[in-house]
C-alpha cells in the first residue's frame, strides 16, 4: 500500500462511556467526556494546526498554534488543553486566529534553519506543513536567529547508532521529553537552559545520547515534529514511499509496526498506534534492530555436505530437499520410524510451525516434535492448564491499566519485554502498587518515579516456598475471597489446599530458611496483594526455568484464585513470553504429546479428526521431548533431526551433551537465516526467511493473533512453509498449499480455539485474541470471565521440594541467567545490528563482597566453573546482585553460558533449570578449554565451497 | 545403571515428589497418568525393564506409580 501514516488526533483518547456533544465550525460532534477540543475537531475532520501536541502524550499548551474561538469564552484558548463541554460552539478558523497563528509561526521560523530542501525531514516535517497551513509568507524579524545558523549552530549529536540529534532544528516543543516520560517512562530527556538557550538534553550536561540513560526506544524520534531527532536510515535514504503493516519478530509482546519502505528497502519501522499490543510504542530492538534481515552473513542458497567436517556445497532446492529426505528415509529404514524427529521455532509464523509439526506427524509418522518452549514456558502450559484449563495467560496487556497491585515475579520486563514494561510503569506512576520478587535488584525495584513497595529478594530456587508463604498469610489472616472460591472453584481441592498452606511449616517465618526473605516483608506483600484492589501477576522465565517451574505456575494460579484475582480486567496470571511466537508455536501442536489446540495425541476423537483431514494414520503415542531427543541421539536410537529456526547448540543447557548428541546424528537439517552454532553439526542447510519476507501470523503473550506481511521478496526464493511441504512430499507424504492463508484455514478447521480465524478477518479487523469461535466470535481479551475453561478452578497442592542442585565448598555460588535490553536470546539477530554497541560481550555480574573475597576487580577476566564445565568471561561488579548469587547473559556464543548449566529440569515438563547452577569463580587469563574447542569448530565446521558460476 | 536409566529414575522421582502431597490413593494413579501422558513408549519400555530388575533408585511412591503405569500398558 502507499505510505500510510497513523492519524494524529493531537491529544490522547479518553476512555469513558459518558459522551459530550458540541459544535465545531457548525458541525455537531459527539466525543467522550474529557476529550480536548483539538481531538474533537480532529475526529470531526477539522484538524487544528499544532506543533507541541501529539496524541501519544498529554497536552502541554506551549506552542500557541492551536488557538480557537469558543462562543462565550474570552480570548483564544488553546484547543489542546481545553476540554469539551456539552453545547460548546467552537470556531477553528477565523481571521483573528489566522493572524495570531501566522504571527506565532513567524517567531518560530525566525530562529529555525531554512535548509528545507536538504533537510532530513523534508516532506515529513510538521513545522514545514504548519507553516504552509497558516500561510506564512514573510519573516519580519530576519532569518539570522541567535543559535541556529552558521557558526552559532550547535553540533549534531551522532553518538546513537540509529538516530541523529540536531539541536539547531529544535523548536523546544517538549514532545520528545514528554514521550520519554509518559510513553517510555525512562525520564532520560529534559529541557536545559532558558529562553533562546533552551534545548533538549539527554541527561547530564556532559552526556551525549549514547552515554545517557536513553534506551533508544525511538519514542522521542517519533514524537519530534521537525528534523531535530531523525532516524539515520531516513537521513541516509530519504523519506519512505510505501507502508507494509506487520508484526515485530523479537519478544512475546508482539508489537505492530508499519514497515516504511522505498521499493524493497526498509527505511524505517514505525510502531503502529492501532496495534493492540503496543498502541504505538516500541523498543530498541523492534524499532531499529532489523538490519540483520539483509546482513552479509545471511545464507540464501541451500547447502549440503556428506560429513560435518566437509565444506558446505551450495546446491539447488531440489537437490538439498532430496538429499535430506533420502537420508531421513534411509535412517528410518535402518533404525525404525521413531529414529527421526524435529523441533519447531517460536520465531517462525504459526503457519510455518504448523506445517513442520504436520510433516513430523504425517510424513515422519511419529510424534517426535518439540519446540523451544520446552526450554522456556512449557511449565506455563502445564500449570495453567491444570489449574484453569487452558495453556495461556489470562489477560490482554491493556488490562494492566486497571491493575491496582502488580506482582512481578521472575521477570525483568524493562529489559525482556520493554514495551509492556512501559505500559506497566505508566500504571505504576498513576498509583498502582508494585511487588517485585527477584533475586536481583532489577530496574523496576527503583527507577525514576517507580518504587516497589516490596522487593522480595529471594534465593534462586525458592519460588515455591515464597508463594506458599504468601498463600499462608492469605489463608491464615482471613484474606481469602470466599465468595469467589465458593462459586468458581472445586471445593474439595480448595479445602485441601487451604489446610496445606495454613500449616505452620508454610509460614513466612518457617520458609525464610529457603527463601531468604524477611517474613514481615512477605506478610506485607501478601496483605497488599490480597487487599489492594485488582491484583495482577506478571511472570517470566525466573518462574519456569526451575526444577519446580510447573509447581510455581500452579502456586501463582492458587494465589490468584484464592483472592478472586481472576476473570476480569486488571487481574490475572500472565506469562511474559520470551520469543515472538512462543504462544503460537505451542498452540500449533509443537509438543510431542499434543495436537494443535493442546489436545492429547491419545484422544481417539481428536486424532481421528486429524487423520481424516490429513489422510494418513497418526501415532497415539507421545513423542520425544528435546532432552529425550538428545539422550536418544547419544544412545544411538535417534539419528535424524529437522531443526527449524532455533540454535539449540547455543540455547539449550549442558552444551557438551548437546554437542555430543548433534555430532552423533546421521542427518541434521537446519532451516535458518544464518549458519548458527547448531549448523556446525548439520548436513543440510535450508535457508529461511526473515520476518520482513514472511506471510503469516504470530500469536503474542496475550493470545493476540497478528498478521505478518511480506515487505520484500523472499531472499532465499522460497517460503519456509513451501520448503517444508517439499521435504514432506519427498518423504512420500503429499502436503500442498497454495498460500499461507490456506494453512490458516486448515488450522481453523481443525482447532476449535481458532475456528473463527482467517487471514481475511485479520486483514479486516487487525488482530484477534483466541479463543475465536461460536462462543466468542470476536475473540477473548480476558479469559475465564464467567467460569474457568476447565469448569471450576482447581487448587493444586504445591509442596516445596528443594532443587537437587546445591552449593558446596567447591561450588559456593549460585549462577542464574537472563537477558538484557539490547540483545535478544542467542543474539543471532541483534548481534548483527548496531545493538551490539550496548552489549559487545556477556559479562558475569557479581556482588562487591563476593568479588573482594576472590580479589577480583571490575572488568577482569574470570573463570566460572560448575560441575558441568567452565568458561571465561569478564566480571562486572554490581550491587544489583545479592551476595552468593552471580548472573550472566547468553547472547554471545563464545561466552558459552550453557556449558555451565546442568541437566536438571522441571519435574513436569523437563524445562531446564537454567536459573540455579552451583558455581565457583576465580581469576583467569585465558579462554576455557571449551572456548578454545569452539574456536577450532568455527575453523573446521563452517567452510563453504564457492557457488558454481551461472 | 546407564545414563538413560539414571535420567528416567530422576524424572520419575521428581514426579513423585510433586504428588507426595496428595493421599497415596490419588498420587499413585496421578503419577501413572503423568507417565502415560508424557513419556514415550521407548522410555516406558526402558523403565519397565528397570522395574523388572528391581527398580533401583526409585522412591516408593515413584515405584508404585510406575508399576501401575506398566500394569495398565500391559493390560491394554
Q: Which pLDDT value is given to residue A697?
A: 98
Q: What's the mean pLDDT when you consider all of chain A?
A: 95
Question: Distance, in angstroms, between A548 CA and closest chain B CA?
Answer: 9
Stretch A630-656: mean pLDDT: 94
Q: Name every residue whose Cβ is closer than 8 Å to that of residue A584 and which is 6 or more positions away in sequence.
A: A346, A349, A350, A353, A697, A698, A699, A705
Size of interface A-B (CB pairs under 8 A): 55
Mutate which of B14, B17, B73 to disrupt the A interface (most A C-beta within 10 Å)? B14
**Residue for grid cell 492551536:** A66
Chain A residue whose CA is closest to B73: A621
Q: Which pLDDT value is given to residue A36?
A: 97
- Is A635 an interface residue toward B (CB < 8 Å)? yes
All residues of chain A having their beta carbon less than 8 Å from the beta carbon of residue B20 are 799
- What single-letter DSSP state applies at residue A915? T
Three-state SS for A624-683 is CCHHHHHHHHHHCCCCEEEEECCCHHHHCCCHHHHHHHHHCCCEEEEEECCCCCHHHHCC
Helix boundaries (H) for A265-417: 284-288, 317-335, 350-358, 378-387, 413-416
Q: Which pLDDT value is given to residue A197?
A: 81
Question: Distance, in angstroms, between A798 CA and closest chain B CA?
Answer: 7
Q: How far is CA B3 from the centre of its chain?
A: 17
Q: Which pLDDT value is given to residue A162?
A: 98
Hey, are the CB atoms on B21 and A799 less than 8 Å from each other? yes
pLDDT tens digits, residue range B9-36?
999 999 999 999 999 999 999 999 999 9
Window 480-539 of A, Cβ < 8 Å to B: 500
Q: Which pLDDT value is given to residue A472?
A: 98
- Is A338 an interface residue toward B (CB < 8 Å)? yes
- Is B36 an interface residue toward A (CB < 8 Å)? yes
All residues of chain B having their beta carbon less than 8 Å from the beta carbon of residue A621 are 40-41
Exposed e or buried b per residue across A553-576, where buried means at least 16 C-beta atoms within 10 angstroms of its C-beta: bbbbbbbbbbbbbbbbbbbbbbbb
Q: Which pLDDT value is given to residue A497?
A: 98
Query: Per mean pLDDT, which range of A252-266, A751-765, A867-881, A888-902 is the poorest?
Result: A888-902
Q: How far apart are the first and last CA of chain B?
A: 29
Q: Which pLDDT value is given to residue A147?
A: 61
- CB burial of residue A604 (10 Å; 0-12, 13-18, 19+): exposed
- Assign A522 a pLDDT band (cuts: 50, 70, 90): very high
A189: left (phi over 0), alpha (psi -120 to 50) or beta: beta
Stretch A876-890: mean pLDDT: 96
Question: Distance, in angstroms, between B6 CA and closest chain A CA?
Answer: 11
Query: Which string of DSSP letters, residue by residue, matches A813-836?
Result: EEEEEE--SS--TT-TTGGGSGGG
Do β-strands A885-889 and A844-846 pair in parallel, antiparallel, or remain unpaired?
A: antiparallel
Query: Per mean pLDDT, which range of A105-114, A205-214, A673-682, B43-52 is the poorest?
Result: A205-214
Q: Name every residue whose Cβ is closer than 8 Å to that of residue A349 and which is 6 or more positions away in sequence.
A: A581, A584, A694, A695, A696, A697, A698, A708, A721, A740
Hey, are the CB atoms on A634 and B3 less than 8 Å from each other? yes
- Is B33 an interface residue toward A (CB < 8 Å)? no
Exposed e or buried b per residue across A450-470, where buried means at least 16 C-beta atoms within 10 angstroms of its C-beta: bebebbbbbbbbbbbbbbbbb
pLDDT tens digits, residue range A273-331?
999 999 999 999 999 999 999 999 999 999 999 999 999 999 999 999 999 999 999 99
Chain A residue whose CA is closest to B39: A622
Stretch A132-150: mean pLDDT: 80
Q: Pick A907's closest partner by Cβ from B14, B22, B39.
A: B14
Q: What is the ipTM of this complex?
A: 0.97
What's the grid cell of residue A785?
470471565
Mutate which of A370, A622, A624, A911 to disrupt the B interface (most B C-beta within 10 Å)? A622
Q: Which residues pair with A575 in a beta bridge?
A: A539
Rounded Cα distance, A785 and A217, in Å: 35
Spatial contact of A199 and A227, defined as CB atoms under 8 Å apart: no
DSSP 3-state of A367: coil
pLDDT score of A206 more than 90? no
Spatial contact of A438 and A457, defined as CB atoms under 8 Å apart: yes
Hey, are the CB atoms on B15 and A631 less than 8 Å from each other? no
- Is A593 an interface residue toward B (CB < 8 Å)? yes
Q: Which pLDDT value is given to residue A793?
A: 97
Window 54-73 of B, Cβ < 8 Å to A: none
**Residue for grid cell 487452558:** A390
Spatial contact of A57 and A176, defined as CB atoms under 8 Å apart: no
Question: Distance, in angstroms, between B64 CA and closest chain A CA?
Answer: 17
**Residue for grid cell 541437566:** A903
Question: Distance, in angstroms, between A733 CA and closest chain B CA?
Answer: 24
All residues of chain B having their beta carbon less than 8 Å from the beta carbon of residue A632 are 42
Q: Pick B7's closest partner by Cβ from A551, A624, A631.
A: A631
All residues of chain B having their beta carbon less than 8 Å from the beta carbon of residue A592 are 40
Question: Distance, in angstroms, between B54 CA and closest chain A CA?
Answer: 22
Chain A residue whose CA is closest to B41: A621
Q: Which pLDDT value is given to residue A947?
A: 63
Hey, are the CB atoms on B37 and A593 less than 8 Å from each other? yes
Mutate which of B40, B43, B59, B61 to disrupt the A interface (most A C-beta within 10 Å)? B40
- Residue (of A915, A658, A751) closest to A353 by Cα position: A751
Question: Distance, in angstroms, between B2 CA and closest chain A CA?
Answer: 10
Q: Which residues pair with A259 in a beta bridge?
A: A244, A269
Higher pLDDT, A243 or A196: A243
Spatial contact of A168 and A154, defined as CB atoms under 8 Å apart: yes
Mutate which of A661, A907, A908, A913 to disrupt the B interface (most B C-beta within 10 Å)? A907
Chain B residue whose CA is closest to A368: B40
Do β-strands A446-447 and A433-437 pair in parallel, antiparallel, or remain unpaired?
A: unpaired
- Residue (of A656, A682, A799, A649) closest to A320 by Cα position: A682
All residues of chain B having their beta carbon less than 8 Å from the beta carbon of residue A624 are 40
- Assign A149 a pLDDT band (cuts: 50, 70, 90): low
Query: Which string of DSSP letters, residue by residue, matches A263-292?
Result: TTEEEEEEE-TT-TTTTT---HHHHH--GG
Spatial contact of A392 and A373, defined as CB atoms under 8 Å apart: no
pLDDT tens digits, residue range A424-455?
999 999 999 999 999 999 999 999 999 999 99
Task: Determine the angle formed by the axes of helices A491-502 and A549-562, rounding to 10 degrees.
Answer: 110
Rounded Cα distance, A864 and A875, in Å: 10
Spatial contact of A414 and A446, defined as CB atoms under 8 Å apart: no
pLDDT tens digits, residue range A381-398?
999 999 999 999 999 999
Q: Which pLDDT value is given to residue B2?
A: 84
pLDDT tens digits, residue range A455-481?
999 999 999 999 999 999 999 999 999
Q: How far is CA A753 from the centre of its chain?
A: 23
- What single-letter DSSP state applies at residue A895? G
Rounded Cα distance, A345 and A353, in Å: 7
pLDDT tens digits, residue range A770-793?
999 999 999 999 999 999 999 999
Q: Pick A622's closest partner by Cβ from B10, B11, B37.
A: B37
pLDDT score of A949 more than 60? no
Spatial contact of A230 and A216, defined as CB atoms under 8 Å apart: no
In degrees rounded to 5, what are phi and psi of residue A471? -65, -35
What's the grid cell of residue A477?
489472616
Prediction pTM value: 0.96
Q: Pick B42's closest partner by Cβ from A338, A592, A799.
A: A338
Starting at the edge strand that comes first in sequence, how are the strands of the sheet with A369-371 ordered? A313-314, A303-304, A684-687, A667-672, A640-644, A340-344, A369-371
In degrees rounded to 5, what are phi and psi of residue A320? -65, -45
- Is A801 an interface residue toward B (CB < 8 Å)? yes
The C-alpha angle A375, A381, A386, rounded to 5 degrees, equals 140
Rounded Cα distance, A326 and A316, in Å: 16
Say whether the peptide bond before residue A771 is cis (omega within 30 degrees of 0).
yes
pLDDT score of A150 more than 70? no
Q: Pick B18's closest partner by Cβ from A623, A628, A907.
A: A907
All residues of chain A having their beta carbon less than 8 Å from the beta carbon of residue B72 are none
Question: Distance, in angstroms, between A245 CA and closest chain B CA?
Answer: 40
- Residue (of B28, B30, B35) closest to B50 by Cα position: B35
Stretch A117-134: mean pLDDT: 92
Rounded Cα distance, A422 and A182, in Å: 9
Chain B residue whose CA is closest to A910: B11
Q: Which pLDDT value is given to residue A35?
A: 97
Rounded Cα distance, A114 and A145, in Å: 11
Amino acid at each position: 500500500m502507499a505510505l500510510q501514516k497513523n492519524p494524529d488526533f493531537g491529544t490522547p483518547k479518553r476512555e469513558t462511556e459518558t459522551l459530550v456533544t458540541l459544535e465545531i465550525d457548525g458541525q455537531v460532534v459527539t466525543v467522550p467526556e474529557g476529550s480536548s477540543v483539538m481531538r474533537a475537531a480532529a475526529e470531526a475532520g477539522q484538524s487544528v494546526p499544532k506543533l507541541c501536541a501529539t496524541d501519544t502524550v498529554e497536552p502541554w499548551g506551549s506552542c500557541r498554534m492551536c488557538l480557537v474561538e469558543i462562543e462565550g469564552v474570552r480570548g483564544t484558548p488553546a484547543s489542546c488543553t481545553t476540554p469539551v463541554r456539552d453545547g460548546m460552539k467552537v470556531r477553528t478558523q477565523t481571521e483573528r486566529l489566522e493572524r495570531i497563528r501566522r504571527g506565532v509561526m513567524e517567531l518560530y521560523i525566525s530562529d529555525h534553519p531554512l535548509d528545507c530542501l536538504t533537510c532530513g525531514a523534508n516532506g515529513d516535517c510538521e513545522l514545514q506543513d504548519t507553516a504552509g497551513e497558516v500561510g506564512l509568507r514573510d519573516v519580519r524579524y530576519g532569518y539570522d536567529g541567535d543559535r541556529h545558523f552558521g557558526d552559532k549552530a550547535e553540533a549534531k549529536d551522532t553518538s546513537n547508532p540509529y538516530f541523529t540529534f540536531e539541536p539547531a532544528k529544535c523548536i523546544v516543543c517538549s514532545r520528545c521529553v514528554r514521550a520519554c516520560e509518559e510513553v517510555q517512562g525512562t525520564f532520560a530527556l529534559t529541557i536545559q537552559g532558558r529562553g533562546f538557550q533552551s534545548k533538549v538534553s539527554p541527561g547530564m550536561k556532559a552526556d551525549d545520547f549514547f552515554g545517557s540513560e536513553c534506551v533508544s526506544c525511538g519514542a522521542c524520534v517519533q514524537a519530534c515534529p521537525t528534523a531535530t531527532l531523525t532516524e539515520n536510515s531516513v537521513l541516509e535514504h530519504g523519506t519512505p514511499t510505501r507502508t507494509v503493516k506487520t508484526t515485530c519478530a523479537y519478544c512475546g509482546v508482539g508489537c505492530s509496526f508499519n514497515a516504511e519502505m522505498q521499493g524493497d528497502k526498509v527505511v524505517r519501522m514505525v510502531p503502529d498506534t492501532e496495534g493492540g499490543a503496543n498502541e504505538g510504542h516500541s523498543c530498541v530492538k523492534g524499532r531499529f534492530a532489523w538490519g540483520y534481515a539483509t546482513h552479509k552473513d545471511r545464507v540464501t542458497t541451500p547447502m549440503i555436505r556428506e560429513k560435518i567436517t566437509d565444506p558446505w556445497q551450495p546446491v539447488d532446492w531440489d537437490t538439498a530437499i532430496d538429499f535430506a529426505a533420502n537420508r531421513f528415509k534411509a535412517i528410518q529404514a535402518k533404525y525404525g520410524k521413531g529414529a527421526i524427529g524435529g523441533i519447531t521455532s517460536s520465531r517462525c509464523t504459526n503457519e510455518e510451525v504448523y506445517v513442520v509439526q504436520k510433516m513430523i506427524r504425517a510424513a515422519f509418522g511419529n510424534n517426535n516434535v518439540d519446540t523451544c518452549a520446552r526450554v522456556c514456558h512449557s511449565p506455563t502450559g502445564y500449570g495453567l492448564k491444570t489449574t484453569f484449563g487452558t495453556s495461556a495467560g489470562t489477560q490482554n496487556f491493556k488490562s494492566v491499566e486497571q491493575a491496582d497491585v502488580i506482582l512481578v515475579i521472575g521477570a525483568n520486563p524493562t529489559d525482556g519485554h520493554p514495551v509492556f514494561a512501559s505500559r506497566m510503569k505508566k500504571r505504576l506512576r498513576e498509583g498502582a502498587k508494585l511487588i517485585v520478587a527477584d533475586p536481583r535488584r532489577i530496574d523496576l525495584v527503583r527507577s525514576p518515579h517507580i518504587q516497589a513497595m516490596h522487593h522480595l529478594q529471594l534465593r534462586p530456587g525458592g519460588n515455591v516456598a515464597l508463594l506458599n508463604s504468601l498463600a499462608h498469610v492469605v489463608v491464615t489472616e482471613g484474606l481469602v475471597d470466599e465468595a469467589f472460591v465458593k462459586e468458581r472453584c472445586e471445593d474439595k481441592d480448595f479445602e485441601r489446599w487451604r489446610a496445606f498452606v495454613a500449616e505452620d511449616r508454610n509460614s513466612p517465618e518457617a520458609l525464610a530458611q529457603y527463601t531468604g526473605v524477611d517474613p514481615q516483608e512477605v506478610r506485607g506483600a501478601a496483605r497488599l496483594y490480597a487487599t489492594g484492589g485488582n491484583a495482577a501477576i506478571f511472570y517470566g522465565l525466573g518462574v519456569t526455568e526451575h526444577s519446580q517451574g510447573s509447581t510455581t505456575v500452579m502456586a501463582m494460579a492458587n494465589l490468584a484464585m484464592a483472592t478472586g484475582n481472576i476473570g476480569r480486567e486488571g487481574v490475572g496470571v500472565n506469562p511474559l513470553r520470551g520469543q515472538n511466537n512462543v504462544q503460537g508455536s505451542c498452540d500449533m501442536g509443537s509438543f510431542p504429546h499434543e495436537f494443535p489446540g493442546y489436545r492429547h495425541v491419545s484422544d481417539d476423537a481428536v486424532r481421528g479428526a486429524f487423520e481424516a483431514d490429513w489422510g494418513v494414520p497418526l501415532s497415539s503415542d507421545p513423542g520425544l521431548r528435546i532432552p529425550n531427543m538428545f539422550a536418544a541421539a547419544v544412545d544411538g536410537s535417534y539419528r535424524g533431526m529437522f531443526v527449524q529456526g532455533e540454535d539449540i547448540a547455543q540455547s539449550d543447557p549442558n552444551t557438551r551433551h548437546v554437542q555430543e548428541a548433534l555430532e552423533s546424528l546421521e542427518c541434521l537439517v537446519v532451516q535458518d537465516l544464518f549458519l548458527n552454532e547448531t549448523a556446525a553439526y548439520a548436513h543440510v542447510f535450508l535457508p529461511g526467511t526473515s520476518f520482513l519476507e514472511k506471510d503469516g501470523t504470530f500469536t503474542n503473550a496475550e493470545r493476540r493473533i497478528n498478521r505478518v506481511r511480506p515487505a520484500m521478496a523472499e531472499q532465499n526464493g522460497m517460503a519456509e512453509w513451501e520448503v517444508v511441504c517439499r521435504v514432506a512430499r519427498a518423504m512420500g507424504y503429499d502436503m500442498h498449499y497454495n498460500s499461507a492463508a490456506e494453512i490458516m484455514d486448515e488450522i481453523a478447521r481443525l482447532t476449535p480455539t481458532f475456528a473463527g480465524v482467517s487471514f481475511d478477518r485479520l486483514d479486516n479487523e487487525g488482530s484477534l485474541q483466541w479463543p475465536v469461535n461460536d462462543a466468542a466470535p470476536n475473540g477473548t481479551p480476558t479469559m475465564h470471565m464467567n467460569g474457568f475453561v476447565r469448569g471450576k478452578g482447581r487448587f493444586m497442592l504445591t509442596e516445596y521440594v528443594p532443587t537437587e542442585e546445591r552449593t558446596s565448598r567447591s561450588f559456593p555460588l549460585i549462577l542464574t541467567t537472563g537477558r538484557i535490553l539490547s540483545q535478544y536470546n542467542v543474539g543471532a539477530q541483534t548481534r548483527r545490528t548496531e545493538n551490539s554497541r550496548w552489549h559487545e560481550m556477556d559479562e558475569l555480574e557479581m556482588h562487591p563482597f563476593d568479588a573482594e573475597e576472590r580479589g577480583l576487580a571490575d572488568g577482569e577476566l574470570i573463570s566460572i566453573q560448575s560441575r558441568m564445565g567452565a568458561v571465561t568471561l569478564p566480571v562486572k561488579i554490581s550491587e544489583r546482585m545479592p551476595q552468593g548469587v552471580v548472573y550472566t547473559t547468553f547472547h554471545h556464543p563464545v561466552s558459552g553460558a550453557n556449558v555451565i548449566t546442568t541437566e536438571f529440569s522441571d519435574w513436569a515438563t523437563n524445562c531446564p533449570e537454567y536459573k540455579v547452577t552451583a558455581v565457583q569463580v576465580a581469576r583467569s587469563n585465558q579462554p576455557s578449554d571449551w572456548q578454545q574447542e569452539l574456536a577450532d569448530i568455527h575453523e573446521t565446521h563452517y567452510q563453504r565451497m564457492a557457488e558454481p558460476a551461472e | 545403571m546407564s545414563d538413560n536409566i539414571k535420567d528416567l529414575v530422576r524424572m520419575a522421582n521428581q514426579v513423585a515428589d510433586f504428588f507426595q502431597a496428595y493421599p497415596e490413593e490419588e498420587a499413585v494413579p496421578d503419577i501413572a497418568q503423568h507417565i502415560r501422558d508424557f513419556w514415550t513408549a521407548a522410555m516406558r519400555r526402558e523403565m519397565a525393564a528397570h522395574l523388572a530388575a528391581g527398580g533401583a533408585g526409585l522412591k516408593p511412591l515413584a515405584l508404585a506409580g510406575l508399576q501401575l503405569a506398566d500394569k495398565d500398558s500391559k493390560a491394554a
